[in-house]
Amino acid sequence: MSARLPESTPDEIGELIEAVQVEHTAATLTVTPEGPADKERAAELITELSDALDFSLDAPDVAPDDVERFAKVRSYHHDQGVNPASLGPQGKRTSLA
């Protein structure tokens, strides 16, 4: 005989994952609070990654569809009010502070 799981199990798993993530974040911030150096390094890494992506998309063998998809992602994030520093050089770089 096999026991059936309640129909609410998927929802409960999702709620459990969310609760664990919230507690993990709180514990991490308690142990290692974010400092100015972390924000500066994060901004540098975002810039480096964005520049690498832009360089890769400028290569002659990149499909136009890939460039168009990346432009759509940038546009979507812009419309959502996401910090343009995380989207690369097409937006003005701003600090993460």
Q: Where are the domains of the chain?
A: 35-87
Largest CA distance in the chain: 62
> Of 15-19, 33-37, 40-44, 71-75, which one has max mean pLDDT?
15-19
Report the distance separating Cα 75 and Cα 14, nearest Å. Answer: 30
| Token output for 68 | 């168009």
Give residue-wise pLDDT tens across range 51-81. Answer: 787 788 777 777 888 878 878 877 887 787 7
Whether the CA torsion 81, 83, 85, 88 is positive or negative: it is: negative
